[in-house]
Amino acid sequence: MPKRKLDPLPAAAFQILLALAEGDLHGYAIMRQVEEQTAGKVRLGPGTLYSSIQALLEEGLIEEVDPGAAPELSDAPRDRRRSYRLTGAGRKVARTEAQRLAGILRVARARRILKGDYV
């Protein structure tokens, strides 16, 4: 199925893809990871988080990790929560989106929108 809901890729979905790029995570961990990678600017609430996860699942960009086959999770004892993993397609979509943003960024630099050299 061609991507409809995720084209263009919403910011939340992109953040989730980026968060999962480093390894499998469950919902709350994704939320924390996104918070961390945006320096606290984006805190995904449960509605946005799980709706985005569902959309990503439906588009095949992420997949559910087989429960029980996730021993590397840190707080395992009380964990029957589902974890998610980036698929090949998901990685490709994330890369495309990052390249698109990089293109925009280049233009912004050339037009001197971004002052200084901190980006």
Partner 1 sequence: MSEKIFACLLRLYPARFRQQYGAEAMGLLRDRLRDERGIARRVRLWFDLLLDFATGAPLAYRNSYAMVSASPVPHGAAGLPEFRVLDQEPLRPESVVLGSVLAFGALAAFVLVMNHASGYHPLASLRGLAHKSVTQSDAEQAAEKLEEKVRTANALQSCGFDKLELHPGNIGYVKLNFFGEPARCAEMADAVMERLNDTDAIIFDLRDNRGGFPAMVQLMADWLFDHPVPWYNPRATSPQESVTQSPVPGSRLANKPVFVLTSRRTFSGGEHFTYDLKTLNRATIVGETTSGASHGSGPPPEGTIPVWEGSGVAPDVRVNDADALATAEKLALGAIGKH
| Subset of residues 74 to 113 that bind partner 1, contact rule: CB under 8 A | 78, 80-82
- Compute the least distance from the CB of residue 88 to partner 1, in Å: 18
Q: Is the dihedral of CA 95, 101, 103, 106 positive or negative?
A: negative
Give me the least distance between CB of 44 and partner 1, in Å please: 7
Looking at residue 10, what DSSP letter applies? P
Beta bridge partners of 25: 84
Q: What is the DSSP letter of 11?
A: H
Binding site for partner 1 (CB under 8 A): 5, 10, 26-28, 31, 43-55, 57-58, 64, 78, 80-82
